[in-house]
């Protein structure tokens, strides 16, 4: 289902179900007994990039509850990122297929049965006011139900059965809010995040690839696209994914790509198979054999991350690739924000730079409007970021990387 169908299901089916379950909860109320949970379920139905931002929360749960079994409910299409980070055992992952309403309904029933069989003690709902995820949290049978709560805010109703209520805060990074969700399991205040959780001092895991694998990936890439073989490679991601309003103008990408090609760099335009058309626009504009369409070329996220090792810079819209770059060893990354804000979604990587104009109307995609912008499509928050600004920052990051490589 596309995002509009998901919104419709969440609203027209989710609201009445949440209302019914809230009534059941008032009649058959089950409160936590104070015993530390032995089985914890994390619900993460968001885009793949959110899994990277949630990594510190998983590590905190392991520290707080070393004896507990941690499970995850997620969409099957996002599972590979979780498996790559090796956060939980593969057998502890419950997946949903959202390709159609029929498959989603069937998998949802199966997931509820499995959750009940697992005797889940605590559920942490990481979704930002999704009704579907809150329904799963109640039907799991868990006594501890942690989730974001709307308080008196109109709209975004998701029931009243969350008993560890965390105030969603648009001014704090999502990683910190995920840590607050984990801390809420032992909180008795309302809301449950009145105290700062202990700061997470760990680092985002860098995925280590065997040298043989990286050599093979590079060899195949050069065989497919010989003109890039002896050039430094800059990757760009011009697609907005499921939210096209997040995309920096394609004309701006074209200008930046052409300038980098003139300086002797190769440019690879990455994306999903469905992004080939927009990627080809950059290739057609540049008319340079060293500018290649890599949309759909990578077979998996792991394959994409291996290609990242060949690159010297990534320029991307807000989305998965910018978050995935944090899993690689210091790939310099430029990320465009506008409809959403880096205050909430900045990459955990230490070598990224965010362009953000912070116009009076931005960010316009929030949890409070189900990421449905009132913008008419004229996303000035991104259009006002000039190609010359981006090229200047790209040169700075490439020079810094070159100096670091020379020192090494």
Query: Residue 78's closest CA among 28, 42, 29?
Result: 42
Handedness of CA 370, 376, 377, 382 (dihedral sign): negative
Question: Residue 213, SS3?
Answer: helix
Q: Residue 364 belongs to what domain range?
A: 211-407
* Cα(138)–Cα(386) distance, integer angstroms: 48
What is the H or E stretch that residue 72 is in? strand 69-75
- CB contact set of 224 (below 8 Å; sequence gap of 6+): 297
Domain match, 181 and 220 both:
no
Same domain, 261 and 117: no
The residue written with tokens 């100096």 in the block is: 403
**Residue 195, domain member (yes or no):** no
CA pair distance 42, 380, nearest whole angstrom: 37
Domain membership flag for residue 202: no
Same domain, 39 and 73: yes
Do 269 and 124 fall into the same domain?
no
Length of the chain: 408
269 and 164 belong to one structural domain = no
Which CATH number characterizes residue 334's domain? 3.40.50.2000
Backbone φ and ψ of 122, nearest 5°: -140, 140
Query: Of 169, 174, 224, 173, whose CA–CA distance to 194 is shortest?
Result: 169
Residues 248 and 126 in one domain: no
Residue 194 included in any domain: no
Enter the DSSP assignment of 90: G
* 193 falls within a domain: no
In this structure, is residue 205 part of a structural domain? Answer: no
Quick check: is 201 in a domain? Answer: no
The answer on 290 and 233 residing in a single domain is yes
- 29 within some domain: yes
Whether residues 168 and 228 share a domain: the answer is no
251 and 135, same domain (yes or no): no
Bridging pattern class, strands 233-237 and 164-167: unpaired
DSSP string over 222-254: HHH-GGGTTS-EEEEE---TT-GGGPPPHHHHH
> Do 320 and 374 have their domain in common?
yes
Q: Tell me which of 171, 186, 201 is where a domain ends.
A: 186
Task: Report the number of distinct structural domains present in the chain.
Answer: 2
**pLDDT tens by residue, 193-247:** 887 777 776 777 888 899 999 999 999 999 999 999 999 999 999 999 888 999 9
In a domain, 149, yes or no: yes
Give pTM, 2 decimals. 0.91
Give 78-122 pLDDT, tens digit per residue: 999 999 999 999 999 999 998 888 999 999 999 999 999 999 999
Same domain, 179 and 307: no
User: Cis before residue 191, ω within 30 degrees of 0?
Assistant: yes
Q: What backbone phi and psi angles, to 5 degrees, belong to 313?
A: -165, 145
Strand order through the sheet with 39-43: 93-96, 69-75, 39-43, 122-125, 144-149, 164-167
Torsion sign (Cα): 72, 192, 167, 317: negative
Burial class (CB in 10 A: 0-12, 13-18, 19+), 350: exposed
Going residue by residue through the chain (408 aa), what tens digit of pLDDT does each one get?
Answer: 677 787 888 888 889 999 999 999 999 887 787 788 999 999 999 888 899 999 999 999 999 999 999 999 999 999 999 999 999 999 999 999 988 889 999 999 999 999 999 999 999 999 987 899 999 999 999 999 999 988 887 778 888 999 999 988 888 999 999 999 999 998 888 888 887 777 776 777 888 899 999 999 999 999 999 999 999 999 999 999 888 999 999 999 999 999 999 999 999 999 999 999 999 999 999 999 999 999 999 999 999 999 999 999 999 999 999 999 999 988 999 999 999 999 999 998 888 999 999 899 999 988 888 888 888 889 999 999 999 999 999 999 999 887 666 666
- Within this chain, do residues 120 and 261 fall inside the same structural domain, yes or no? no
């Amino acid at each position: 289902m596309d995002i509009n169908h998901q919104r419709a299901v969440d609203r027209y089916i989710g609201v009445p179900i949440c209302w019914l379950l809230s009534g059941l909860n008032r009649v058959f109320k089950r409160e936590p007994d104070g015993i530390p949970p032995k089985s914890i379920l994390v619900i993460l139905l968001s885009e793949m990039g959110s899994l990277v931002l949630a990594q510190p929360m998983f590590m905190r749960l392991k520290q707080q509850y070393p004896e507990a079994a941690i499970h995850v409910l997620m969409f099957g299409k996002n599972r590979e990122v979780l498996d790559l980070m090796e956060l939980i055992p593969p057998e502890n992952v419950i997946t949903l297929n959202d390709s159609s309403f029929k498959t989603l309904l069937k998998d949802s029933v199966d997931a509820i049965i499995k959750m009940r069989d697992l005797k889940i003690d605590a559920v942490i709902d990481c979704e930002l006011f999704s009704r579907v995820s809150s329904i799963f949290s109640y039907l799991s049978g868990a006594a501890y139900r942690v989730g974001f709560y709307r308080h008196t805010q109109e709209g975004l109703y998701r029931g009243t059965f969350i008993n560890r209520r965390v105030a969603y805060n648009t001014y704090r990074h999502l990683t910190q809010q995920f840590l607050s969700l984990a801390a809420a399991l032992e909180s008795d205040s309302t809301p449950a995040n009145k105290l700062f959780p202990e700061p997470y001092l760990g680092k985002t895991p860098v995925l280590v690839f065997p040298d043989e694998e990286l050599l093979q990936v590079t060899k195949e890439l050069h065989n497919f696209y010989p003109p890039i073989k002896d050039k430094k490679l800059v990757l760009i991601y011009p697609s907005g994914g499921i939210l096209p309003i997040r995309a920096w103008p394609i004309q701006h990408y074209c200008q930046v790509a052409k300038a980098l090609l003139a300086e002797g760099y190769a440019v690879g335009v990455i994306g999903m198979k469905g992004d080939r058309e927009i990627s080809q626009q950059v290739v057609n504009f540049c008319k340079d054999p060293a500018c290649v369409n890599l949309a759909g070329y990578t077979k998996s996220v792991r394959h994409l991350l291996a290609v990242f090792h060949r690159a010297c810079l990534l320029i991307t819209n807000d989305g998965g690739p910018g978050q995935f770059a944090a899993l690689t060893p210091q790939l310099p990354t430029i990320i465009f924000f506008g409809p959403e804000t880096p205050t909430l979604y900045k990459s955990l990587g230490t070598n990224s730079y965010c362009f953000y104009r912070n116009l009076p109307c931005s960010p316009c995609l929030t949890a409070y409007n189900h990421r449905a912008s009132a913008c008419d499509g004229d996303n000035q928050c991104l259009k006002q970021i000039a190609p010359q600004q981006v090229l200047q920052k790209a040169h700075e990051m490439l020079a810094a990387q070159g100096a670091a490589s020379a020192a090494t």
